[in-house]
Amino acid sequence: MDIDRDKKNLVGLGRVELAAALAELGAEPFRARQLWHWIYHRGATDFAVMTSLAKAFRERLAERFVLRRPAVAAAQESHDGTRKWLLRFADGNEAETVHIPEEDRGTLCVSSQVGCTLTCRFCHTGTQRLVRNLSAAEIVGQVMLARDALGEWPSPKEDRLLTNIVLMGMGEPLYNFDNVAAAMKIVMDPEGLAISRRKITLSTAGVVPMIARCGSELGVNLAISLHAVSDELRDVLVPLNRKYPIAELLAACRAYPGSSNARRITFEYVMLRGVNDSPIEARELVRLLKGIPAKVNLIPFNPWPGAPYECSTDAAIAAFSDIVFAAGYSAPVRTPRGRDILAACGQLKSASVKTRRAERVVEPELA
């Protein structure tokens, strides 16, 4: 029996909620600031280490509260240094988090849902049925757990192994915006995890009505999973397109608060052999992006068991990239990372969820 099970988890609470939880114990507001520092700057997992607090107060905290991370059901490391954690939450559901080390930075790919409702044809996660949204605690917990594993407490000012966050793991973050936003506000707080909004990128398949809020409330970088230049094809690859077609999506991008030539919107384009990778499509992409401060990210398709597509040839990818680049856009080809441990884009999947190819898009209520 886990006696801590019924205790309230303080990880995932914002500043106001943390102060409210402590006020229940009769603690003064400055105690909340001290605790914030221990939780999010020092990474404490136990009240006993919080030496700036009186021992009696620490004991009262421990009676009522816990500082819980998601449990790690499995941890894997790729030969290229990419690490993947399979997390198991209190209710038995699972999701994955991936850390991708590079020369000058380290990116954490964070999940926002268990499974996904979008059923994009080329995505492994899309073959699972959505079980549920992750809570703010479970989203922030992924970042804290990575910091634990990387040994990065207290939050270092420089030379970090974890510098960037991409909301590109399992799930559609704009279908779980409130929890994603609460988690990112904690992550961005300069007195804690202190990862700036400029180092955070939210990737969406195109939930148009939520894009403006993402810009105005969070101000993070935006990435759009575009993948096709005609509605006809995008309807098939990204079924959400039937609801929010390309023209509406691009209009929302044009209006994205805070985008500029210095802060461009990333357009992700998965390279599918013979499906979306012709020079004609590259030129059409350039035409569509006109007037948007954009960069293009070409993603070689990552295969998974039973996938209905193949990756484009190197020559097709190079030709596509050249056309986009010649039009003035940066168009790097993303090197697949962690393919050997199924940690690359679109390969994430958790065993707790049954496989199913859904026939239609089941869309949660939008706020």
Check 109, 120, 214, 345 and give the catalytic one.
345
Is residue 205 at the binding interface for ligand SAH, with CB under 6 A as the rule? Answer: yes
Cβ at position 197, least distance to ligand SAH in Å = 18
- Which span (79-87, 178-186, 294-302, 352-360) binds ligand SAH, by CB under 6 A? 294-302
Question: Is 310 a residue of the active site?
Answer: no
**Contact call for residue 143 and ligand SAH (CB under 6 A):** no
Among 299, 324, 331, 341, binds ligand SAH (CB under 6 A): 299
Helix (H, G, I), strand (E, B) or coil at 255: coil
How far, in Å, are 20, 36, 50 from residue 17 at the CA level? Answer: 5, 11, 20
122 binds ligand SAH (CB under 6 A): yes
Q: How far is it, in rounded angstroms, from Cα 170 to Cα 351? A: 13
Cis geometry, peptide bond prior to residue 154 (ω within 30 degrees of 0): yes
Among 86, 165, 211, 270, contact with ligand SAH (rule: CB under 6 A): 270
Among 204, 221, 241, 352, binds ligand SAH (CB under 6 A): 204
Backbone angles phi, psi at 135, to 5 degrees: -80, 165
Q: How many residues bind ligand SAH (CB under 6 A)?
A: 17
C-alpha to C-alpha distance for 18 and 110, rounded to whole angstroms: 23
Asked if 179 is part of the footprint of ligand SAH (rule: CB under 6 A), the reply reads no
Query: Judged by CB under 6 A, which of 78, 82, 93, 203 binds ligand SAH?
Result: 203
When the beta carbons of 38 and 320 are compared against ligand SAH, the nearer one is 320
What percent helix, strand, coil does the chain show, rounded to 5? 35, 20, 45
Q: Name the helix (H) or strand (E) containing 132.
A: strand 132-133
Tally the C-alpha atoms within 13 A of residue 227's C-alpha that lie toward its C-beta: 29
Smallest gap from residue 27 Cβ to ligand SAH (A):
39
Give the count of beta carbons closer than 10 Å to the beta carbon of residue 256.
20
- Pick the closer one to ligand SAH by CB: 11 or 344: 344
DSSP 143: H
Closest residue to ligand SAH, Cβ-based?
Answer: 346
**Is 157 or 360 the residue whose CB approaches ligand SAH more closely?**
360
Write the interaction track for ligand SAH spanning residues 212-231; mark x where CB under 6 A is met and - where it is not: -------------x------
Measured from the CB atom, is 192 or 346 closer to ligand SAH?
A: 346
**Under the criterion CB under 6 A, does residue 301 sit at the interface with ligand SAH?**
yes
SS3 call for 198:
helix
Measured distance CA(355)–CA(125) in Å, rounded: 9
Active-site choice (94, 96, 268, 281): 96
Nearest distance in Å: CB 81, ligand SAH: 19
**3-class state of residue 25 by DSSP:** coil
| Rg of the chain in Å (alpha carbons) | 21
Label the pairing between strands 200-204 and 164-167. parallel
Q: Would residue 96 show up in a list of annotated catalytic residues for this protein?
A: yes
Check residue 208 for interaction with ligand SAH (CB under 6 A).
no
Q: Which residue has the tokens 């919080």?
A: 50
E strands present in the chain: 8-9, 65-66, 71-77, 83-88, 94-101, 106-109, 113-114, 132-133, 164-167, 200-204, 221-225, 265-271, 294-300
244 counts as binding ligand SAH under rule CB under 6 A? no
Please tell me whether residue 268 binds ligand SAH under the rule CB under 6 A: yes
Question: Catalytic positions, please?
Answer: 96, 345
Binding site for ligand SAH (CB under 6 A): 118, 120, 122-123, 168, 172, 203-205, 225, 268, 270, 299, 301-302, 345-346
